[in-house]
Chain A
Amino acid sequence: MSEPAARRTVIIDETVRVHHLLDREEVLGPLMLAPLLIYLVALVGLPLLFVFIYSFSDATTGSDTFNFVGLETFQKTIADPVFQVALRNTVVFTVIAQAVVIVLATILGFVLSANFRGKWFVRFLILLPWTTPVALSALAWLWMLDSLFSPFNWILGQVHLIDQGTPVAWLGQDSLAVASVVALQAWRTLPLAAVILMAGLTSIPPELNEQAEVDGAGFWRRFFDITMPLLAPIMMVAILFGIVATFTDMAAVYILTRGGPGDATQVLGSWSFYTGIQGGSLAQGAAIGIFMFPVLLGVCILMLRRASRTDAF
């Protein structure tokens, strides 16, 4: 009789001890953070460290020789005309895509925060591109921009803007290929920006706009003098997210154009991949990738500053 009773006490004791352990913040905190930290160190931190090490070496995928060569790889990289195109493209694509996004996202933000029938369905449609993996949506765009099967060509043909017999090769001409890549980047970063701006718009107290209305301001004055300044900090967040997503992306270019025609749509991400992985020059691939670093560092600093400021209203 007494033995099971004693065992029960032990079990209770143990559960109490475990509970006690989980009640202690200095144990629970690190425990909960550990998975994230391990993930960040193993899959972000270490690769980043390797990129820095490789970029000062002559490492290739073909041999196991590894010598530090100082800045030689960087000198070679900068001298490469394709790299110069890729660097310029990366900046230009990001700037144009995000400029387009911020205008469209503001409009969509207003649409999303407005009250109308079927609102959830519109929200769903706007959010859809964001939930689709880049590779998948890029494939869909690849088909839409195909010179033979493009629905754009079909529509343009139907309204007689182009001749049905000579379809537009969307990805075959430099300028059109550039426009296509920019459009894809804008299209896929738009939903998140729109949702962020929607949240920003709904956080502005409605009586500020009503007050401005009573004070005699028309729509545009209210928009530029009241709404925009109050929305600016949140818009900044949306832009920073968009810059990170566009600046580092290689999937869109890789699937849509392979950097072509020629190297007209090459970006840092894709050129780093082609040089380092497909071309086998690990060192140079790493060096190309390093050029993303200053921009991303700047974005990080701005983000952290933003996050530490809490005096929105």
Chain B
Amino acid sequence: MAEVEVRDIRKSFGGGSAAVDGISLTCGNGEYLVLLGPSGCGKTTLLRMIAGLEHPTGGDILIGGRSVRGLPPRARKIAMVFQSYALYPHKKVEQNISFPLEAQGMSREERIEKVKWASGLLGIGHLLQRKPRQLSGGERQRVALARALVREPQVFLLDEPLSNLDAKLRASARLELKQFQQRVGISTIYVTHDQVEAMGLGDRIAVLNQGRLQQVGTPEEIYHRPANTFVATFVGSPPMNLVSRDGKLVGFRPENIELEKTAGSRDDAAVFHSRVLRIENLGADRYVYLRVQDDKGDTNIIAKLPIDHPLHVAADDDADVIVRKRHLRMFDRDSGEETAA
């Protein structure tokens, strides 16, 4: 177990803009830190630099308080799980798991003991004699985790380990990953572009865009107090609505909207006049697509309303959008940064 700290780290692949453009970040002892961002935001490059697979062009990386700059991956006491799991296809599960131990020069008896322990922890004891191609996606993930776990690393680095699983399996694999990490308590840095995974897994989330850190915080902070319009619209589905009013961008979540035919003026809430474009029934919720008049003209927004909530409007009706003041977030119209109300 160890703390991981990156200090003003940079990486450019020659020409064009930097892939990682000065990021400083700390993953605390035993913490589950998720790096979240769209593809090409630099999150995988950052992870690979921590692993030692890429050399940073600037900045420093500390693991357990020690700089690891210039150290090869094997000297960093890290374990990594790749998106593809990268199981050695010619080795049995048992040999896959014991490979890191062999590389350490551990004795045969000790290795067998360790493999037994790791495979027992992940419930794959019955798969030890199989080849990777004979395993399902979920089993492969567990083998990859067992191989990562077996040498008791200081840090786990996980690069989108769920993206190769089908949607059904993903939910249960997510639960398994979280339980696994809580049991072993090893600092974990997890890369994903899926905000649902990030919200569900992370103790804290670091949102990245274009090689820069946008915000670090708990899932609640990221969701309810986004630092800028990028985070506001990247996290949450449907994303936060942004309406231009009084020289600022007003942000509010789709589920914080109330719809009335006419609201009158309210002290405790902001009211926007709108027209209903379309109503979608999604089972538990309905999405109401609305066009709001604001400073800049028309803006489309989405309201997410529980299905058991009575709805008094229909498509093509005029409606008033009511958002309570505590649900409103203000952003600077030019910089996109959050400002005071």
Evaluate contact between B88 and A205: CB separation under 8 angstroms.
Answer: no
Q: Convert A195-231 into 0s and 1s, putting 1 for each residue whose CB lies closer than 8 angstroms to a CB of B.
A: 0000000000101101111111110010001100110
Evaluate contact between A216 and B80: CB separation under 8 angstroms.
Answer: no
Evaluate contact between A216 and B100: CB separation under 8 angstroms.
Answer: yes
Supposing A211-B80, A221-B103, A311-B133 touch, asked if A216 and B74 sit within 8 A by C-beta, the answer is yes
Evaluate contact between A205 and B74: CB separation under 8 angstroms.
Answer: no
Asked whether A124 is an interface residue with its Cβ less than 8 Å from the other chain, the reply is no
B window 65-124: CB within 8 A of A: 72-74, 78-80, 82-84, 86, 88-90, 99-100, 102-104
Asked whether B193 is an interface residue with its Cβ less than 8 Å from the other chain, the reply is no
Which residues of chain A have C-beta atoms less than 8 A from B201's C-beta? none
Asked whether B53 is an interface residue with its Cβ less than 8 Å from the other chain, the reply is yes
Evaluate contact between A214 and B89: CB separation under 8 angstroms.
Answer: no
Q: Is the interface of A mostly helix, strand, loop or mixed?
A: helix
Asked whether B51 is an interface residue with its Cβ less than 8 Å from the other chain, the reply is yes
Evaluate contact between A213 and B73: CB separation under 8 angstroms.
Answer: yes
Asked whether B204 is an interface residue with its Cβ less than 8 Å from the other chain, the reply is no
Smallest beta-carbon distance A70→chain B, Å: 50
Asked whether B10 is an interface residue with its Cβ less than 8 Å from the other chain, the reply is no
Which residues of chain B have C-beta atoms less than 8 A from A230's C-beta? 89-90
CA distance A230 to B104 in the complex (A): 22
Asked whether A313 is an interface residue with its Cβ less than 8 Å from the other chain, the reply is yes
CA distance A226 to B89 in the complex (A): 9
Which residues of chain A have C-beta atoms less than 8 A from B79's C-beta? 214-215
CA distance A211 to B83 in the complex (A): 11
The 8 Å CB contact of A214, one of B74, B84, B88, is: B74
CA distance A212 to B79 in the complex (A): 10
Q: Convert B322-337 into 0s and 1s, putting 1 for each residue whose CB lies closer than 8 angstroms to a CB of A.
A: 0000000000000000
Smallest beta-carbon distance A260→chain B, Å: 47
Evaluate contact between A217 and B103: CB separation under 8 angstroms.
Answer: yes
Evaluate contact between B99 and A215: CB separation under 8 angstroms.
Answer: yes
The 8 Å CB contact of B82, one of A211, A216, A229, is: A211
Evaluate contact between B86 and A216: CB separation under 8 angstroms.
Answer: no
Smallest beta-carbon distance B5→chain A, Å: 19
Q: Convert A94-122 into 0s and 1s, putting 1 for each residue whose CB lies closer than 8 angstroms to a CB of B.
A: 00000000000000000000000000000
> Of all chain A residues, which has the CB nearest B144?
A211
Asked whether B151 is an interface residue with its Cβ less than 8 Å from the other chain, the reply is yes
Asked whether B248 is an interface residue with its Cβ less than 8 Å from the other chain, the reply is no
The 8 Å CB contact of A215, one of B52, B83, B89, B100, is: B100
Smallest beta-carbon distance A214→chain B, Å: 4
Evaluate contact between A217 and B99: CB separation under 8 angstroms.
Answer: yes
Evaluate contact between B151 and A207: CB separation under 8 angstroms.
Answer: no
Which residues of chain A have C-beta atoms less than 8 A from B73's C-beta? 210, 213-214, 216
Evaluate contact between B99 and A213: CB separation under 8 angstroms.
Answer: no
Supposing A215-B99, A216-B100 touch, asked if A208 and B86 sit within 8 A by C-beta, the answer is yes
CA distance A211 to B74 in the complex (A): 10
Which residues of chain A have C-beta atoms less than 8 A from B100's C-beta? 215-216
Evaluate contact between A207 and B86: CB separation under 8 angstroms.
Answer: yes
Which residues of chain A have C-beta atoms less than 8 A from B51's C-beta? 214
Supposing A210-B53, A230-B90, A313-B89 touch, asked if A215 and B103 sit within 8 A by C-beta, the answer is yes
Which residues of chain A have C-beta atoms less than 8 A from B89's C-beta? 208, 230, 313
Smallest beta-carbon distance A189→chain B, Å: 27
CA distance A221 to B100 in the complex (A): 11
Evaluate contact between A217 and B90: CB separation under 8 angstroms.
Answer: no
Which residues of chain A have C-beta atoms less than 8 A from B147's C-beta? 215
Smallest beta-carbon distance A306→chain B, Å: 16
Evaluate contact between B86 and A205: CB separation under 8 angstroms.
Answer: yes
> Of all chain A residues, which has the CB nearest B74?
A216
> Of all chain B residues, which has the CB nearest A208?
B86
Evaluate contact between A216 and B151: CB separation under 8 angstroms.
Answer: yes
A window 210-262: CB within 8 A of B: 210-218, 221, 225-226, 229-230
* Interface residues of B, Cβ cutoff 8 Å to A: 51-53, 72-74, 78-80, 82-84, 86, 88-90, 99-100, 102-104, 133, 147, 151
Interface pairs (15), CB distance under 8 Å:
A207-B82, A211-B86, A211-B88, A212-B103, A213-B72, A213-B74, A214-B53, A214-B73, A214-B80, A215-B79, A216-B100, A221-B102, A221-B103, A230-B89, A311-B133
20 further interface pairs, Cβ-Cβ under 8 Å (given A207-B83, A210-B80, A215-B151): A207-B82, A207-B84, A207-B86, A208-B88, A212-B88, A212-B103, A213-B52, A213-B53, A213-B72, A214-B52, A214-B73, A214-B74, A214-B78, A214-B79, A215-B100, A215-B103, A216-B103, A216-B151, A218-B103, A230-B90
The 7 A-B residue pairs with the shortest CB-CB distance, nearest first, are: A216-B103, A211-B86, A216-B74, A215-B100, A207-B86, A214-B80, A229-B90
